[in-house]
Structures are given as structure tokens and as C-alpha cells.
Chain A
């Protein structure tokens, strides 16, 4: 095994980790601020991919189609999330966790059927514009050009989230609400609005993740399953509600998988899960401090 091969697989794993980060950042944001394990997060990711496909198809061969799709999909999922939160979820915050899980699980079933009704069972392909087709050779590895977009998008999303949570008033309130929501309410802040905003932002990130994977994979019913499980694991490993934890978990997940392939290709599938289990044995509450 030469060093170039390891570096090449690292880059490939990194681009996968960026998608995982964007989606699990949304999940962990909702977990941290609202204390809601959002089971339909994966469905929004799938919805985002389908919306991106529809927008790109409608625009046609113009290269702007993809960028328009990347902008539209997260807005649609954020809107869906906001409506659901304002109309339904906001009435359930005082209930126990089991009720919240049941509710989001129910919404997941409904959303998946809505996707089936709207797009049918066939899988779709979103072909990126010619400038982003094909691959470039990075460190001796053929890396799809579109994965470079992911390598840029991931840190951009991370930076924006950091700016939002640390440099804006709304973000500071959200962080405060994550730590002690009663105290924030006592201080006269409309916690409900903060919750709605955080939920919408989380759903935005799910849709963004879906739109970003759309050009790299089959857009199909069921694409939400494995991602939902992986992002819950990442969030748990990273520390519930901790954005940087989500980043650490995603990197751990994406890189152990791609580098694991060099070590023991036949069983590489098991690597991320084995590492997750090992981390939780040593640090049961996750790598970084949990907001719970």
C-alpha cells in the first residue's frame, strides 16, 4: 500500500464525508435546539434530490440548471419542514420523546408516499453540466469533478453555520435555547419562533444534502434509508446537538470507509460501524460535548 493510494482514498472519503456532514448538521441542529429526533430528515433529503432533478429537467441543458436546482431544493424542503413544524410539531413539544419520534416517523411514511405519488417508482439521473462531467486526477486517483464541488460546499456550509450560531442574534438565542430553553423563555424571548427557525434551517440542510448528491447517484425511493441510519450514528458519535461533533463524526465515517477499502476491501463495509462502536465504548456520550 503506497502513500499516494492512501492520500487518494482520503480525498475520496473526504468528499463523501461532506455530504454526510451537511445532512447530519441539520439533524444535530434540530436535536440540539428542539430536542426532537427527526426521523423524517432522510425523507427530506430524498425529497431534495427529487426536487433538484425536477428543476434541472425543467431548465434543460442550460448549465445554470444545476445551480438553480441546488438553490431550489433546500428552499422547498425548508418550506415543507416549516409548515409541518408550525402546524403540527409545535403542538407536541411538551409531550415526551416517544410521541415526538412517533410523530416524525409518521411524517416519514407520509412523505415517502408523497414522493412515490409525485415521481413514481422509477429512479432518476441528474446529469451535471458538461463542465462538471468526468473526473480529474488528484494524487493519482480519478476523482469525479463534481466531488470537488462537494469538497468546497462542505466547508462553506460549516462556515455559514458557525457564522450563524456565533455571529447572529438568532443563532445565539438558538444556542442558548439548546442549553436552557426555560431560562431563555423567562428572559422574554419568543422561543417558539427560534424553534421554528432552527427546524426550518435543519430541513434546509437535509434538502441541500439531497440536491448535492443528486448528480452523483441514482435518485430513487429508499435512498433515504441508509443515509438516515448513518447520520443518526454520526450525530450520536459526534455528541448530540453538537455541530462540530457532526463534522467529526462525518469525517470519521467517510474516511474509515474509503481508507478501510485499502486495508481490507472485502469487509470495508463494516469499518465505519466498527469505529463508531469503538468510539462509543470509550466515550459513551460522543466525541464532543453533547447539548443534552
Chain B
């Protein structure tokens, strides 16, 4: 019975091979517990639309990541509602770190909350990843070892828009903005870069209105009468919708070229529907329909299947935040907070918008900025970005030297 001896040998051989291969396939390193992320964001009131979108993107990333895990660990998360208040946000962050003992903090849509939590994260030496709020101070003047940003900021958007307006030859401007943190940050940034791109630029005038100002007709008619060459609007959220609606009704952008960060964004144009104006110059860092790369298409399909609507820019930020966290832990092979921070610095992650780097010097994700002009397109239920162009992140970000100087000045 030669066959039988052979079969025993084969079996032994197969078992040996399997054990060797198994040893090779099994990670040499395993985390002894799961990774816990604490999410602080606004989940009530109008800004909740953005908070929920970011969380959905993050959740989708975690579903994909947790299929195989990170060195045997799953990434779990808990959420807290900051109700758009820096005080509540800060106490939520404190509770997440001290009671829930989260490894990483993530949030929030409110720039003021993000800055408050950032100061706390620095003092507690807890990594904090900012994913929606856009104040450039977060990774600029007030940046530090423990704070990161996975979203574009006012410096990047302001520079992208200023250079686009400079290329079109406009020099006489009106600045019109909503009187709050983001309104000031984005407007100052635009004007700083406008003066840099075209030093001869002059300010015809400026207007500031209250957040929640319901009727912008008097503001816009007055700007029309002042006849500047171009207008920059610094506004976001529901205020942004009011500006866009009023522009559409009185045909503002057809009379005076106008630029607004996020004007081409889906989160702005979709809820406006037919009330959205054509011909407004705008920027964003993510569009679900452009560029049509396989990576973006797959993300959009998966997101749509899971939540029933295409992702907005917060979902994109939430999604890449999940991957930055997973890849950093994979690289760090440690749950130590400082090892995580070091692993995240300079880390490159594949995203729906191509490979994105977490810049080491300021902890700002190097994200591309898309520039375009709002336009009707029969293939979409909302206005889209016409003639879109992608500006690489490194071209619109402040240099590491700029950041160093800004941080020195702040001290």
C-alpha cells in the first residue's frame, strides 16, 4: 500500500506547509484591544447636515477597515453632540478623554469649537483630527504637535479663489461677508492673497451682516450700485444659501463677477435646487461627479448604496479621516499617542481624490482644491461646477516657512 504511505507523507507535508504559510500570513504584531475614537460634532440644528455627512463617510471607512481590522483590532467610535457651542464641545471632549478614555478625538464643524478642543488636546497630549471646520488657524498659527486637519482650510480656499480672480484681471473689489469666525477668516485670507497676487488691487468697500440675516436684498442692491469690478462673499451654511438665493433672484452674478468658497459645492447647490444662481465662481475640495476616477466612482457608489444620496465634502473628509487613523496605527504598531502622532506625520493615504499626504510640518492634509463656475446641467438635479479645474494642494497651501512664522507670531 504505497498509496497510503504517500498520503500520510502528503498530509504531514501539507500540514507543515500550512503552518508555515499560516505563520507568514498571521500578523507578527497584534493590538491587545480595540481602537477607540471619540467624535465631537454638531448633530442638532442646521449644521447637523454637515456633521451627519462627515460621520457617514467615517462610518463607511470603518466598515471597510474593520473587515480585516488593524493588527487584529477594530476601530470603534462614540459620538457626542456639541450643539454648535464651543463650551459644550470642550466639555464633551474632556469627558471623552477622561471618562471614555478614547485614543483619538475627531470633530467638528464649528471652528471655534475645534480651536477650543485643540488647546485641550495639546494640554492632554491627545491626538485631535479636525475634519470639517475650515479656520486656517487650526493647523496654522494655533497648530501644535497633537492637532491635525483632514479638510481644506480658509488659507487654501482664499488663495485658490484670489489667484483665479487675479488671472481674470479683476482689481477693484467689494468684500461682503457674514460677521462670524469663518466669515472673517475666509474674507481676510482672500484679500491677503489678492493683494499678493495683484498688489494694485483696491477695495471699493465692504459690508458685514449678522449671521441669520434673513433679507440680503438691500445688501446686494447696494453693492450693485457701488459698481465694483468683482465681489468676494465670505459666508457658509444657511447664510450661504441666502446669498445664493438672492443672487439668483436679482441676477447678481450676471452683473458683477462673484466668488464664494463652496459655491460649487454639492452641499450648497443640492438643497437650493432651482433657487441656485448660475455663473458664480466657487471652490471646494470634493465633488462626487468630478474627477471621474475609478476610486471616486467606487466611493460614491458605496456611499450611495449605504445612505441613499451621494457624498458631500464632509463625507469625503470623514472617509479619509478613517483611513488616516487606520494607516497611522498600522504603521505605529502601538496605541501610544505619541507614536500615533509620529506615524501620522508625512503619512500618505489612498483616497477617492488620489493619494493624500498628511504634511509633517503643520499636520494639514495636502488636499487639492477644485475651482469652477456654477452651471445648469440637465444630467443632474442640481447645478454643477462648470469648467472644473483641479489645483494641487501644494500650490495653494502656505509653505512650511509661512506656518513657522505664523506660529512664532502667535506666541
Which residues of A does B touch, CB under 8 Å? 5, 8-9, 12-13, 15-16, 19, 116, 121-125, 127, 133-135, 140-144, 146-147, 213, 216-218, 220-223, 225-227, 257-258, 261-262, 265-266, 268-269
Contacts and interface: CB of A to CB of B under 8 A. Distances in A.
B166 to A, nearest CB: 24
B46 A220 contact: yes
Interface of B: 44-49, 179, 205-210, 212-215, 217-219, 221-222, 224-226, 238-239, 241-242, 245-246, 249-252, 255, 271-275
A136 to B, nearest CB: 10
A163 B272 CA distance: 40
A124 B252 CA distance: 21
Given A5-B225, A9-B222, A116-B44, A265 B245 contact: no
A9 B241 CA distance: 22
A133 B248 CA distance: 9
A58 to B, nearest CB: 16
Contacts of B45: 116, 121, 221-222
Given A16-B217, A213-B214, A142 B46 contact: no
Chain B CB within 10 A, most for which of A125, A141, A269:
A125
B224 A269 contact: no
Contact of A121 (B48, B222, B249): B48
A257 B48 CA distance: 31
Report the 4 A-B pairs with minimum CB-CB distance, sorted nearest first. Answer: A258-B218, A142-B250, A261-B222, A121-B48
A279 B338 CA distance: 61
Given A125-B245, A266-B206, A268-B219, 6 more contacts: A13-B218, A121-B46, A143-B221, A144-B217, A222-B45, A226-B213
A278 B362 CA distance: 50
Contacts of A8: 221, 225
Contacts of B212: 222-223, 225-226
Chain B contact surface mostly: helix
Given A265-B205, A265-B207, A143 B217 contact: yes
A135 B49 CA distance: 31
Contacts of B250: 135, 142-144
A221 B246 CA distance: 19
Contacts of B217: 12, 15-16, 143-144, 147, 216
A19 B225 CA distance: 24
Contacts of A12: 217-218, 221
Contacts of B179: 269
Contacts of A222: 45-46, 212, 238
A116 B81 CA distance: 15
A220 B238 contact: yes
A269 B245 contact: no
Chain A CB within 10 A, most for which of B45, B205, B222:
B222
16 contacts: A9-B221, A12-B218, A16-B218, A121-B47, A121-B49, A123-B238, A125-B275, A135-B250, A142-B250, A142-B252, A143-B217, A220-B238, A261-B207, A265-B206, A268-B209, A269-B179
A75 B205 CA distance: 44
Chain B CB within 10 A, most for which of A123, A257, A258:
A123
Contact of B251 (A142, A221, A266): A142
B221 A134 contact: no
A142 B245 contact: no
Contacts of A216: 214-215, 217, 245-246, 249
Given A125-B273, A135-B251, A222-B45, A262 B215 contact: no
Contact of B249 (A140, A144, A227, A266): A144
Nearest to A116: B44
Given A142-B251, A144-B249, A265-B205, A123 B271 contact: yes
A75 to B, nearest CB: 23
B218 A261 contact: yes
Contacts of A116: 44-45
A147 B221 CA distance: 13
Nearest to A123: B238
Contacts of A135: 249-251
A8 B217 CA distance: 11
Contacts of B271: 122-125
A134 B214 contact: no
B218 A257 contact: yes
Nearest to A138: B221
Contacts of A227: 214
Nearest to A142: B250
Contacts of A226: 210, 212-214
A125 B272 contact: yes
Nearest to B270: A122
A223 B47 CA distance: 13
A221 to B, nearest CB: 6
A56 to B, nearest CB: 12
A46 B163 CA distance: 41
Contacts of B242: 217-218
B186 to A, nearest CB: 17
Contacts of B245: 125, 216-218
Contacts of A19: 215
A218 B207 contact: no
A286 to B, nearest CB: 24
A133 B249 contact: yes
A134 B245 CA distance: 10
Given A125-B271, A269-B179, A217 B215 contact: yes
